Structure 1
Amino acid sequence: MTSKNDYVVAIDLGTTKIVALVGKLESNGRLKILAHSKTVSTGVRRGMVQNIDETVKAIETVVADVRQKAGLDFTEVYIGIAGQHIKGIKNRGLINLNTFDAEVSKEDVRRLINDMHKIPLEPGDKILHVIPQNFIVDNEVGIKNPVGISGRRLEANFHIVVGQIAAMKNIERCVERAGLSVKELMLEPLASARAVLTEDEMEAGVALIDIGGGTTDLAIFHDGIVRHTAVIPFGGNIITDDIKKGCSILQRHAEQLKVQFGSAIGELAPSDKIVTIPGISGRDPKEIKFSHLAHIIQCRLEEIIDMLKFQITNSGFADMLNAGIVITGGGSLLKDLPQLFKYHTGYDVRVGKPNINTVANSDNEMNSPMHATGIGLMLLGFEDMYNRAEEEQKKAEAAPQPVQTVADTTTTVEPKIEVEPEEKPRKPHKAKSSEFLGKWKEKIGGLFSDDDFTFDQKP
């Protein structure tokens, strides 16, 4: 039977869909997906919960489905969080070590990171992640792992991800009302990056762009470390709204047009092709050119790309992205999108799918960029679970052990003054008492007379 420590449950609360996944790690370190389910999301907008009841209903639907498919009963889940309220701040921390020649320990690093959770924030904000950038031991800079290095002072630069408490509470409230508890809230672009990026890309420098329904998330990596994060409050849904307004059609028809016939570059779309849309309530159908549809999409995408370029420039790593850009999420499936990104940014661009070396049984559906966040949440969940287990083990080892003593086995005995307790009077045996006193009287009879000895016997 599978124990709760063998599997992880992740829920991706998206603007267009809510996905639940259950997975476990195999002996070779690859993720095996035991069950997955998705449903339409109507209570989340731009990464934030707008309708509690609808979100709870959607969570209950997918959870019941994966419970049945996986044959597991679980209560703890890992949840992804995004939204316009997410922001990143930079900070620097410092602690002094105990002695001049002390070695930096993992506990020192942990203490320095914990100090970052005490920094002053704006009212209503809460820290989600504290990510070390580099460490400084005394005056030695650029240290990635300071453990074991001798010094007097430990410093570090941090990238701190902050979000609004109200938005986090709304997510937790939805999960709790669905009969579950939140094990950890995790930033969605970090989860997506965990699923689709390679170690070489993160070392060389890469910008991960996750285009979702309500938001577009950015995470920049260099030297294997997260350097910058940002959330753009526009995604695939705003493109659908533009098509709806520009073509005067229904929302569902606009979404269908975008997915089936949409293109990111208007000049590449055929101008002689036309798609016919049914009229509203019996009215005449509408004919829409592919080129007209593509130009509507391109205008909005160029606006999103300009916002991303601004964030990349502000990160200070624009000249260090040797691996270019990786786009993922449902919006990355749009035709000709990599070419549009490459034209406007100058970077090499590829579409990121869940890494086949990470996922053991990834079918065609789960191998899609739209499931990158959910799979990444599971992978981060396993890392978090094992880190918690390691910390608990260290606490158990550091805790004072009870002293066990075994009677009559010590070699040294502390001197003690014992007070002999007053014995209760016992009724002596008549025959034995008379015999004993009589013999003792014979031995010392020369010292006392018979009158000195009395022995009262009761009748």
Structure 2
Amino acid sequence: MDEHIVVGVDIGTTKVCAVVAAKNELGQINILGMGMAASDGLNRGVVVNIDRTVNAVRKAIEEAERAAGVEVHNVIVGIAGDHVQSFQSRGVVTIRSGEITQQDVQRLLEDTMQVSLPADREILHVIPQEFIVDGQDGVADPVGMSGVRMEANVHIITGLISAAKNIYRCIEKAGFQVADIVLEPLASSFAVLHDDEKEVGVALIDIGGGTTDIAVFEDHTIRHTAVIAVAGNKVTDDIGKGMSVMRDQAEQLKRQFGTALVDVADPNEQIEIPGIGGRPEKTIGRDALAQVIQPRMEEILEIASIEIKQRSEYGRHLGVGCVLTGGGSLIPGTAELAAEVLGMEARIGRPMGLSGGLVEEVSDPKFSTGVGLVLYGMRPEIIGGSTLSEDVRAESNDHNEGQTLMDRLAARMKSWFDEL
């Protein structure tokens, strides 16, 4: 088959999702298969139980393999968790030849990486914001330009080495190779944001089970990223405590009857709740359930608002407002509540940019990250880098058993910059 096949694996707090996609000679992207498994081996986006996570990863990928009719070897995996941090960095180099080459750009990006990081942290992504050639700013691609001095502003995203190592370990124990590791809010943005939104200014809020991921774009470039450890699971916990029901029942109530706005919940609509320990069933009004959900959703959106408006310093640049995605955004009324809390336009983002195959099955906000990972695999230039699929395949063939995972992580980052 003359197809380029990519597999994305979203290891979430509540689910592991695997998506298999292929790109044909016309450049169209088709979803060949999709698999999902319940995940209980993570806490707030970070692996806390290797064996449970390995089982969920294996189950999700095998389901996707069966649906697609292909054998999976390499996967692109997402990373999240409140350990993820981002900051701006700046570098400068001199140009000896007078004309800027790709090697000069690489030297400059390596210079921007000369930042002091704690021993337990690793750089995940270095994303150029703009280049400045001889004082002329706003340069998007300096290769081929004349100049003697080149500077760059970059966005550096870091994460805990142990968190990345545990994700690698889970994928490898499940019997697969890691082709690349991508920050989850970045991946989601590839699937749900339009190019014109990224140009005018938009904030992406991905409400998952364990974490809420944020990415702010302006002028086609990512300006700020953050991961918040308050998300959909907190809403479920509140329902469980407020309604005195078990966690599974609370999750079902949230999905079936939940709404994020008390004003739109019908007070006359009654919901039957099963009794615990042989106790009789009880009934509550749908508005009572909304009164439990709305305060927690407000809290999530208020923390997101602080991150977007204060910490990113780009709150005033968001011409089209915000886009909400992830499973947590499926609660009816979330977009309206977000518009009220953030004071800007809001819409629910669903995966797009797909041509055929299981498009309807994955056109749901909870699959945004999984679809985004395969879109990144098809077009790695969308964040200014390139995928390591080919490198890692070659590397895994010559891989000796004595090489540590840490060496491979270091080699991964080195390869990433070699290809820039």
* TM-score > 0.5 by shorter chain: yes
| Structure of larger gyration radius | 1
RMSD of aligned C-alpha atoms?
1.9
Partner of 1:59: 57
Matched, 1:261 2:257: yes
Q: C-alpha distance in 2, partners of 1:210/1:47? A: 13
Equivalent residue number for residue 140 of structure 2? 144
**Structure 2 residue 312 is matched with structure 1 residue 315:** yes
- 1:42-81 counterparts in 2 under 5 A? 42-81=40-79
| CA pair 287-55 structure 1, distance change in 2 beyond 3 A | same
Pick one of 353, 358, 363 that aligns with 2:359. 363
Structure 2 Cα separation of the partners of residues 362 and 221 of structure 1:
29
AA in 1 matched with 2:101: S
Contact 1:89 1:161 in 2 (8 A): yes
Within 5 Å, which residues of 2 pair with 1:107-126? 107-126=103-122
> Greater relative contact order: 1 or 2 (C-alpha under 8 angstroms, separation 6 or more)?
2
Matched, 1:380 2:409: no
The one-character-per-residue Cα deviations of 1:279-302 (angstroms, maximum 9, x if unpaired) are: 113111122221111111110111
Q: Deviations over 1:7-39 (max 9, x none)?
A: 111111011111111111123322111111101
Query: What one-letter code is carried by the residue in structure 2 that aligns with 1:29?
Result: G
Gapped regions of structure 1 (runs ≥ 5): 393-459
Secondary structure, aligned partner of 1:264: coil
Superposition pairs for residues 125-204 of structure 1, below 5 Å? 125-204=121-200
4+ residue runs over 6 A deviation: 389-392
Q: 2:298 aligned with 1:302, yes or no?
A: yes
Deviations 1:94-122 (A, max 9, x none): 111114xx122222212212333342201
**For residues 327 and 295 of structure 2, what CA distance do their matches in structure 1 show?**
19
Q: Write the deviation string for residues 30-49 of structure 1: whole angstroms up to 9, x where unpaired.
A: 21111111011111121111
CA contact (8 A) 2:180 2:388 kept: no
Matched, 1:211 2:231: no
> What secondary structure, in the 3-state scheme, does the structure 1 residue paired with 2:362 have?
coil
1:170 maps to amino acid: N
- Do the aligned partners of 1:195 and 1:358 also contact (CA within 8 Å) in 2? no
- What is the one-letter code of the residue matched to 1:42? D
The 8 Å contact of residues 134 and 150 in structure 2, kept in 1 or not, is answered as yes
Match of 1:94 in 2: 92
Letter in 1 for 2:243: C
Distance 1:179 1:391, change over 3 A: closer
* Cα distance in structure 2, aligned partners of 1:364 and 1:203: 28
The offset of 1:205, in angstroms, is: 0.3
Partner of 2:247: 251
For structure 2, the 5+ residue unaligned runs are 392-420
Identify the residue that residue 426 of structure 1 maps to in structure 2.
Answer: none
The SS at the match of 1:166 is helix
Name the SS of the counterpart of 1:364 in structure 2: helix
Aligned to 1:326: 323
* Residue of structure 2 equivalent to 1:13: 11
1:340 CA drift (Å): 0.4
The one-letter code sitting in structure 1 at the alignment partner of 2:110 is: N
Question: How far apart are residue 275 of structure 1 and its match?
Answer: 0.4
Alignment: residue pair count: 387
Report how far residue 389 of structure 1 moved. Answer: 8.7
Counterpart of 1:179 in structure 2: which amino acid? G
Q: TM-score, normalised by structure 1?
A: 0.81
SS at match of 1:83: coil
Change over 3 Å in CA distance of 1:11–1:388 after alignment to 2? closer
User: What is the alpha-carbon distance in structure 2 between the residues aligned to residue 308 and residue 389 of structure 1?
Assistant: 32
1:365/1:40 Cα in 2 relative to 1: closer, same or farther (>3 Å)?
same
Which of 340, 344, 347 lines up with 2:344 in the alignment?
347
The percent identity for this pair of structures is 44
